[in-house]
Structure 1
Amino acid sequence: MAMRFSAGLLLFRRSAGLQVLLGHMGGPMWARKDLGAWSIPKGEYDPDGESIEAAAAREFTEELGIEVPGGTWLPLGSVEYGSGRSRKQVTAWAIEADLDPDAVVPGTFELEWPPRSGRIQEFPEIDRAAWWDTDTAHDKLSTGQRPFLARLTELIAP
């Protein structure tokens, strides 16, 4: 069982309460799903070839097509999820910043679709981005990433 490693950045703003920016996962498997189908901008990296911080910044830019906003990186730690051969450790930071979701120009990935068809298609990494209050974000986020919301709330609580 090989562990895969991901790093990401969770933007937050204090507009009508605490809000976080999430991306809806792209591709045909997520197209008709909403709850549990959103993610922080993140992606895999090789821990022997790249620093976690560099990977988080690179993946943010690749997924959203926007440079990482300036600001203090607040560590949210790591979570592990998955089972069997698909275990993943995700490390994340939060940055207080505002960003227009309409400015997002997502990166793409290739996938054989339909399965076993031999046809390779290109899909967006995320198909849309949106700001959500933390209660709504909790339901929309994939289960394994939900601890990051609790950590963010604790970290910036008045």
Structure 2
Amino acid sequence: MTARTSAGILVFRRASGLEVLLGHMGGPFWARKDAGAWTIPKGEPSPGEDLLAAALREFAEELGVPAPAGSPMPLGDVRQSGGKVVSAWAVEGDLDVATIVSNKVEIAWPPRSGRTLLVPELDRAAWFTPDEARRLVVKAQSAFVDRLEEALGVR
């Protein structure tokens, strides 16, 4: 069996020190969770779709705005605890997190109930220092923050 893959964009800015943009996963399961409930905007590529193209498309779908223009910096891959492999790129830019409007997805809720609920993929986004991001992001994705700092020479 092939591992599922996702591709995402880690936006960063350097206004008052390095900050990265993360999204909080939507839906009732994540509603009261903080640590481990934040992610880079990402998603699965369509069959035959280039991973960077998928990352840019997913960013726009999950935040309702295109990723900042700029040269995407590859951050490599990580394997999350569930087995999914995530590829990411960093792009410098700024974004007003108050303006995000995520696409909606249908989930089974409560689990195994046969009922469904329409929820935003990301219910909010926020800027974090690298240390805050490492504490809050899905554990495996903290490597992307480390790699960004190394690439920028700020570690």
- TM-score, normalised by the number of residues in structure 1: 0.93
- Paired residue for 1:22? 22
- Paired residue for 1:126? 122
List structure 1 segments (4+ residues) > 3 angstroms apart after TM superposition: none
Structure 2 residue 68 is matched with structure 1 residue 69? yes
CA drift of 1:29 comes to 1.2
- Larger strand proportion of the pair: 1
Structure 2 residue 139 is matched with structure 1 residue 143? yes
After TM superposition, the structure 1 = structure 2 runs for residues 34-73 of structure 1, keeping only pairs within 5 Å, are 34-46=34-46, 48-73=47-72
CA distance in 1, matches of 2:80, 2:21: 21
CA drift of 1:19 comes to 0.1
- Provide the secondary structure at the position in 2 that maps to 1:78: strand
- Provide the secondary structure at the position in 2 that maps to 1:45: coil
Q: How many residues align?
A: 154
* Alignment RMSD: 1.2
- Cα deviations across residues 60-92 of structure 1 (Å, max 9, x unaligned)? 01111111211111110111122xxx4111100
- Provide the secondary structure at the position in 2 that maps to 1:63: helix
Letter in 2 for 1:134: P
CA drift of 1:16 comes to 1.4
CA drift of 1:28 comes to 1.4
Unaligned runs of 5+ in 1: none
Letter in 1 for 2:3: M
Q: 1:95 aligns with which of 86, 91, 98?
A: 91
CA drift of 1:113 comes to 0.8
- Percentage of matched positions with identical amino acids: 54
CA distance in 2, matches of 1:115, 1:57: 30
Letter in 2 for 1:132: F
CA distance in 2, matches of 1:5, 1:99: 26
**1:2 and 1:87 in contact (8 A); partners too:** no
Unaligned runs of 5+ in 2: none
